[in-house]
Amino acid sequence: MSTSPILICYDGTDEARHAIESAAPLLGPRRAIVLDVAPILTLSESVAVTSPVVPGAAFMDLNESDAGTRAAEGTAIARRAGFQAESRSDVSEPTWEAIVDVADDIDAAAIVMGTRALASARELFEGSVSHDVIRHAGRPVVVVPPART
């Protein structure tokens, strides 16, 4: 068995939580890095930054802190699922590129991520991080669909 860790993408959503819980029986107990990638600026923050009184750096610091908090939350879920997990966070655009860079950095055996399973028209408009990761990762990517209701 590979000694390389797996990379688990976690963004605080139910889909990300489900991906962790689904990956545990598939990949067994092993080392995992739980990653949250926050945007440099959200859409509403981008609008606020155009104001001369709002410093953009403050938003970036806030987003970095939020990413660390979410990564720690995902790490706790991964540990309960049986992984030897540690957290990592990043603030970057585009998200897929940061995921691939971290996977390369840790030489991940695989990348695990959830998906919202958007309808194709909505996916074209919003984009799909999972599709971009699959295209660029050059390593196995486990994409877990949403749980059935």
Structural domains in the chain plus CATH codes: 6-144 (3.40.50.620)
pLDDT tens track for 81-126: 999 999 999 988 899 999 999 999 999 999 999 987 655 545 444 4
What are the C-alpha distances in Å from 93 to residues 98, 104, 121?
7, 17, 23
Query: How confident is the model at residue 118, as a pLDDT?
Result: 54
Using a cut of 0.95, tell me whether the model's pTM lies above it: no
Q: Is the pLDDT of residue 55 over 60?
A: no
Query: What integer pLDDT is reported at residue 147 of this predicted model?
Result: 84
Burial class from Cβ neighbours inside 10 Å (0-12, 13-18, 19+) for residue 3 reads: exposed
Render pLDDT for 127-140 as a digit per residue (tens, 0 to 9): 588 889 999 999 99
User: Are 65 and 89 spatial neighbours (Cβ–Cβ below 8 Å)?
Assistant: no
| pLDDT exceeds cutoff 80 at 149 | no
Q: What is the DSSP letter of 5?
A: P
Percentage of residues in the chain having pLDDT higher than 90: 60
